Each structure stands twice: as C-alpha cells, then as structure tokens.
Structure 1
Amino acid sequence: MAYQQSDLDKLHATLVAVATGAQEVQFADGRRTKFQTVEGVTAAISVVEAQLRMQQRALGGIVRHRTPYYRSGL
C-alpha cells in the first residue's frame, strides 16, 4: 500500500490529539485507525516515513545492490 504525505501530516496532527485523549485517523485510502497511546502514533509515523522514503528512492531510479566479496574466491 502506498502512503501519501497527507497521511503523514494527519498522523502528526493525531500525535498532539492523542496526548489529550483517544483519537481516530482516516488515511487517504479510506482506512480508519484508532490510536490509544502516543507510542502507537509514533510507531505509525515511523512506518509511514520509512514507506515514503522508499517510494521517493524508487521514483529516483537509483537502485543500489551490494555484492559480497569473499577472499576465498566464492
């Protein structure tokens, strides 16, 4: 599933709201999630941020692969 910047913005706004009580957030694709703790919101924020970074890298066209080097020649 692809997240959007608006989803991240909503999560940041929800972080403030959860500090005062339970808050529900609706994502761009229509899903609703109810958060009870600040830790739950911060975990969701880190997941969405990581997903957005991966999407940006994919759009950039740069793909990095690591090739292992073994001294034995394998």
Structure 2
Amino acid sequence: MALTLAQLTAARDALMTARASGARRYRDQNGEEVEYRSDTEMARALAALDAEISAVTRRPPSTILFRTSKGL
C-alpha cells in the first residue's frame, strides 16, 4: 500500500520530533510503538522517508528534446 504525501510527511515529522527529544521509542500514526537501537538507525529511517517523499513529489519532465540524424 502506497502512503500519501500527507502520511509520509506526518511520519517524518513525528520521527524528527522523537529524534530531537532524544527518545529512541515513539508511537506512529497507526498506534504502533517503534523502538530504534541507535541514532544512526533513526537517521537511516529519516533518509528513507525523505527519499519516498521526493519520489512522490517529483514531477515528470516538462520538455523532451529529440535529436535526429539522417546518418550521413
């Protein structure tokens, strides 16, 4: 199931808040409790969320350039 941009952003905000407060455990939107072993693991989760957010917000190219030749 693909998450919406709002869900991804909310998850990222909650994880950022938990990381900034020094907590390694937090409760996500679904009520599940998540515990990370280290700050590095939290940073990886944030990077993954950032990648998903950028993939969702990425726009298709607005210009396509063709190069053709007669082969001469």
Same fold per TM (> 0.5)?
Answer: yes
| Counterpart in the other structure of 1:13 | 17
TM normalised by structure 2 equals 0.62
Q: Which has the larger radius of gyration?
A: 2
* TM-score, normalization by structure 1: 0.61
Whether 1:51 and 2:52 are equivalent positions in the alignment is: yes
Q: Which residue identity is paired with 1:42?
A: A
**Could you list the runs of 5+ residues in structure 2 that have no partner in the other structure?**
62-72
Structure 1 ranges of 4+ moved more than 3 A = none
Report the alpha carbon displacement of residue 22 of structure 1 after superposing the two structures with TM.
3.2
Q: How many residues align?
A: 56
**Gaps spanning 5+ residues in structure 1: where?**
64-74
- The amino acid across from 1:53 in the alignment is S
Query: Taking every aligned residue pair, what percent have the same amino acid on both sides?
Result: 9
